Amino acid sequence: MTFSALLKKDISKLPFGSKVCQRAELSGIIGAIAVIAVNEADEMTLGVKTENPAVATRCYQLIKGLYHIKPKLKIEKTKKFKEHRAYLVAVEDPVQVKRILQELEISTYNAMGKAFFTNQVPENIKKQGPRIKAYIRGAFLGCGSVSNPEKTYHLELVGKKTQVQSKASQNDPSPEGIEPSTYLQSIKALLDEFAIKSNLIHRKSHWVLYLKEGESVVNFLNVIGAHRGLLEMENIRIVKEMRNDINRQVNCETANLNKTIVASYDQIAAILFLKDTLGLNNLPKNLYDIAEVRLNYPDASIKELGERLDPPVGKSGVYHRLKKLNQLAEELRMK
């Protein structure tokens, strides 16, 4: 089971909370993925299809608890994989469907009795924090997914299929001929209130609201009450950060060691050249001492070389003397 599926399974076990919050969560699920069919007599049926059995059970329980009816629960095989299943929660009684959609503010009716469907977060849900959180949780259960945090930090909500197709680049945030999803824009506005950074992009035939930063994903999980998943992700983040810190430290130490080895090789080459041409005994005492120490300790750092001199010399002093030896060797080579 994927991290996303496990997360939804945990969320689906959360306490239902107040009736108001239950309606907000159900409204989020229905708004995200429900299919509402209207016949010639303007009678409606409602269907919520999901590939996650825990989400289907949660939706069934919400409808049953709030409206005291038993929706139909159907299991269908999909064409994706051989044993892949989809779960359909359906309400086929037009009277009950009308009641549900009106109470959840998903549909309104004009004076002629004509139904109009809203394509955004209902206004009354935007007024209270608990309702907003419950609605976002419902939307995530319906159309959300999270990547395995061991690999990357990525959470997204996928909107319903757009009607207009375009050959524009997928990287274009607003392809020509396709209007941005009003529904996902209204959810993005809710996330903005929680200071959660999100972006909209059109991918193939769907608008997608996505979060890329680890902190944004963690804050989102906190908002929807996915505390177990949040803690697991935070643990993974800590381990990854520690691992990255160790790697950076090792890389830094390796780079410094490489620099020390290269510098030592050049210094020893210069000293050996001076020994063969000029003779180390002919060098001033301070240069003779550092030359002897460098030849005896080829792997030592500048600091360690200074500590082995008598009396000890600081790093700048050692560096200056070694530089003097290099310059002297270079001058002799030029002659």
DSSP secondary structure string, 73-125? EEEEE-SSSTT-EEEEEEE--HHHHHHHHHHTTSEEE-TT--EEE--S--GGG
Mean pLDDT of 234-254: 78
Per-residue pLDDT at 168: 42
Question: Rounded to whole angstroms, what are the CA distances from 186 to 119, 134, 195, 231?
Answer: 9, 15, 15, 28
User: What type of residue sits at position 187?
Assistant: I
Whether residue 113 is predicted with pLDDT greater than 90 in this model: the reply is: no
Per-residue pLDDT at 116: 65
Ranking 35-39, 123-127, 183-187, 306-310 by mean pLDDT, the lowest is 123-127
Rg of the chain's alpha carbons, rounded to an integer? 34
Collapsing DSSP to helix, strand or coil, 34 comes out as: strand
**Spatial contact of 324 and 287, defined as CB atoms under 8 Å apart:** yes
Whether residue 59 is predicted with pLDDT greater than 50 in this model: the reply is: yes
Ranking 162-171, 192-201, 278-287, 288-297 by mean pLDDT, the lowest is 162-171
- Tell me which H or E stretch contains 21: helix 19-33
Q: Work out the mean pLDDT of the chain and round it to a whole number.
A: 85
Beta-carbon contacts of residue 255 (< 8 Å; ≥ 6 apart)? none
Query: At which residue do the structure tokens 């069934």 appear?
Result: 60
In this predicted model, what pLDDT tens digit does every residue of 309-325 receive, in sequence order? 989 999 999 989 999 99
Beta-carbon contacts of residue 114 (< 8 Å; ≥ 6 apart)? 42
In this predicted model, what pLDDT tens digit does every residue of 274-292 receive, in sequence order? 888 889 888 999 999 999 9
Domains of the chain: 3-108+117-225 (3.10.28.10), 242-334 (no CATH)
Strands laid side by side in the 155-161 sheet: 144-146, 155-161, 206-211, 199-203
In this predicted model, what pLDDT tens digit does every residue of 101-112 receive, in sequence order? 989 988 766 555
Whether residue 165 is predicted with pLDDT greater than 70 in this model: the reply is: no
Mean pLDDT of 296-308: 88
**Spatial contact of 332 and 269, defined as CB atoms under 8 Å apart:** no
Model pTM?
0.69
Q: Is 121 exposed, middle or buried (0-12, 13-18, 19+ CB in 10 A)?
A: buried
Using 50, 70 and 90 to split pLDDT, how confident is the model at 160? confident
Q: Which of 255, 58, 197 is nearest to 141 (CA)?
A: 58
Per-residue pLDDT at 115: 63
Distance CA 63, CA 69 (A): 7
Per-residue pLDDT at 83: 64
